[in-house]
């Protein structure tokens, strides 16, 4: 039997890149998606495949577009013949108080975070159903559970992901496809780099472990839920947040 294959959306930076690296370290072949022209594909492949013993396919495409997702999945199947794990990680923020939030900023965040998750999952499950095995891990956020001032669009998208994850866990369990969500707290990446030191200090004071998390700490949880080590957990939300939400 060939190597297992993990498909990670938004794998060019931050949490997604660490998730891809973790699966590669565990000898999965990797498909990473990204959207911007800034990505140096050769460098990314090298970074992900540090052991040099797995294959990495980088696919550029916007997850908000259904037919693009269909094509990216086809490309992955053509190269590797299977997708065993799908990690819906691509995500953006466009924060503002609701009073000032533009309609387009609401739509954009819902489209990338929630509709993107639908687009990818819908295209992958037919393959997983045929092989009667699969793991789906969706990246939500603690604010999808708790809400957050200035993030009505983002929190709604991340809460939506939780409802989606639980629904498909029920639909797909009979085919041995397990679907779970990971809800990170505040993790050091480009997304949180924009926060001021004052905001970061105030966030840290609300975290029992008193510090922001690292992408690798999220990747460890995603790997566990997405790997064959997980055979009996489905429809769950695992917080990786230093104890912020209990």
Q: Using the structure block, give the residue that is written with the tokens 């949880």.
A: 221
Residue of 15, 24, 44, 177 that binds ligand NDP (CB under 6 A): 15
Structure tokens, 222: 């995603």
Is 62 an interacting residue with respect to ligand NDP (CB under 6 A)? yes
122 vs 67: CA distance, rounded Å? 11
Phi and psi dihedrals of 46, rounded to 5? Answer: -65, -45
Catalytic status, residue 34? no
Structure tokens, 134: 């699969």
Q: Using the structure block, give the residue that is written with the tokens 């970061």.
A: 200
- Comparing CB distances to ligand NDP, the nearer of 81 and 163 is 163
Choose one: 72-80, 162-170, 190-198, 221-229; the region binding ligand NDP (CB under 6 A): 190-198
18 vs 218: CA distance, rounded Å? 8
What is the footprint of ligand NDP within residues 123-142 (CB under 6 A)?
139, 141
Q: How many residues belong to the site for ligand NDP (CB under 6 A)?
A: 30
Sign of CA dihedral 34, 18, 164, 94: negative
Is 180 an interacting residue with respect to ligand NDP (CB under 6 A)? no
69 vs 133: CA distance, rounded Å? 21
Is 226 an interacting residue with respect to ligand NDP (CB under 6 A)? no
- Comparing CB distances to ligand NDP, the nearer of 84 and 241 is 241
Positions touching ligand NDP (CB under 6 A) are: 9-16, 33-36, 39, 62-64, 89-92, 112, 139, 141, 184, 186-187, 189-192
């Amino acid at each position: 039997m060939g190597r297992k294959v993990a498909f990670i959306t938004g794998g060019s930076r931050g949490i997604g890149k660490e998730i891809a690296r973790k699966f590669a370290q565990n000898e999965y072949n990797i498909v990473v998606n990204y959207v911007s022209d800034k990505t140096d594909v050769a460098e990314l492949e090298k970074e992900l495949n540090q052991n040099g013993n797995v294959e990495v396919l980088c696919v550029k495409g916007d997850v908000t577009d259904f037919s693009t997702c269909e094509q990216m999945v086809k490309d992955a199947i053509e190269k590797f013949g299977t997708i065993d794990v799908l990690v819906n990680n691509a995500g953006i923020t466009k924060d503002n108080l609701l009073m000032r939030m533009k309609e387009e900023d609401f739509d954009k965040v819902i489209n990338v975070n929630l509709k993107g998750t639908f687009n990818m999952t819908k295209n992958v499950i037919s393959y997983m159903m045929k092989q009667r095995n699969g793991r789906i891990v969706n990246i939500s956020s603690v604010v999808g559970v708790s809400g957050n001032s200035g993030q009505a669009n983002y929190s709604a998208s991340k809460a939506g992901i939780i409802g989606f994850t639980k629904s498909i866990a029920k639909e797909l369990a009979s085919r041995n496809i397990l679907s779970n969500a990971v809800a990170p707290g505040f993790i050091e990446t480009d997304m949180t780099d924009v926060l001021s030191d004052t905001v970061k200090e105030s966030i840290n004071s609300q975290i029992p472990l008193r510090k922001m998390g690292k992408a690798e700490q999220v990747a460890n949880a995603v790997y566990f839920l997405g790997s064959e080590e997980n055979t009996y957990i489905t429809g769950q939300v695992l917080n990786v947040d230093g104890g912020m939400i209990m």
